[in-house]
Amino acid sequence: MASVPRIGLIYDVFDAYEWSDGDPPDADAEFEPIETVDALADALRRCETEPVRVGTTRDLQQQLCEGLALDAAITIAEGQGTRNREAHAPILLELAGIPQWGSDALTLSITLDKACTKDLAVQAGVQTPAWTVFSEASEVTASALPADFPLFVKPRYEGTSKGILPASKVTSVEALRQEVERQTHLYQQDVLVEAFVNGGGEFTVAVVGNDPPEALPALQRAVEPTTGIGVHALERRGGPDRAWSYAIEGTLSAALEAQLAHDALRIYQKLECRDVARIDFRVDAEGTPFFLEINPLPTFAPDGTFAIIAELMNRSYPDFLADVLARGLRRLQVLPSISANPAIEQ
């Protein structure tokens, strides 16, 4: 009898790293609750594989030195430190000859860089808000602005809406200068400043699979009515500790959803994503979508985007997640082309 494939899980949970007093309050916002790891392990068992909980990238490095044997691995580890942090685990797996589910190191590094990603989006024919990059507040002048106010400021190499406050939407040169100073000082990196798209709502599209990839039903996000900023960005771990008001802006028509899916698939393929990604958009008052950013390491938390999509598709989340994982495991030839597991075929 053939042995059960061993699939490693590389991940960061909230207490995975020690942080210093000078680190941002949302330094661990990209990390996961242990429930996410539990959900992935359960899904892997439904795929008739054996989940192996490895832990962080540092744990992976140590265990590889000790002879860790895996048939494949799934990494959701965000890492710590440099703009290449999401690529650390994939590089170790590549060096060890272990097939990896999900996007490779190059794609993960590029997509963490918001400016590089927007350059490639433009090449792919996908509209994105006009933008520029500032390294320090002294560079901010009226002639250096990428568009008319309002503008939006965010760290260049962060995910999970890290750094976003109501003050990140600015309406004057002085306010922009202050926000650039705050973010560059706190996160020790460049910031991206882009036109703030408003009037038609905020949406996210999940894409799964390969050859061809599939865009799943779009989700409309609530916005904070005073600023128009997505509530999810303000409610992140380590963000402002307060209750936010909600508003739904714009309408998700069939035509808009089709355009969102089209643009999401174009950017997914342009960036050579594999197996899964989540793509975020804002829509203007005329109904035109603008690409914001892409996350090929989206959360699989039981209360996150993919769990909501499973509910919209009338699927149980464990079976739905098993299906998503199985597509990539088939790509790696860890699973047969057609699984014998009815939960995956559904």
Q: What is the DSSP letter of 222?
A: P
Over range 3-18, report the average pLDDT. 95
Dihedral of alpha carbons 77, 81, 86, 90, sign: negative
Q: Which domains does the chain have, with CATH numbers?
A: 6-103+307-337 (3.40.50.20), 113-127+197-296 (3.30.470.20), 131-195 (3.30.1490)
Q: How many angstroms separate the CA atoms of 230 and 226, rounded?
A: 11
Q: How many angstroms separate the CA atoms of 311 and 339, rounded?
A: 23
Radius of gyration of the chain (CA): 20
Q: Is 33 left (phi over 0), alpha (psi -120 to 50) or beta?
A: beta
Mind listing the pLDDT tens digit for each residue in 132-184? 999 999 999 999 999 999 999 999 999 999 999 999 999 999 999 999 999 99
Confidence of residue 338 (pLDDT cuts 50, 70, 90): low
Q: Is the pLDDT of residue 117 over 50?
A: yes
Q: Are 70 and 7 in contact (CB under 8 A)?
A: yes
Q: Is the pLDDT of residue 255 over 60?
A: yes
Q: Is the pLDDT of residue 340 over 90?
A: no
How many Cβ atoms are within 10 Å of 226's Cβ, its own excluded? 11
Distances (CA, A) of 20 to 17, 23, 24, 25, 28: 10, 6, 9, 10, 12
Q: Are 198 and 221 in contact (CB under 8 A)?
A: no
For residue 100, give the nearest of 75, 137, 131, 65 by alpha carbon. Answer: 75
Over range 79-103, report the average pLDDT. 96
Over range 6-14, report the average pLDDT. 97
For residue 179, give the nearest of 150, 143, 159, 147 by alpha carbon. Answer: 150
Q: Is the pLDDT of residue 16 over 50?
A: yes
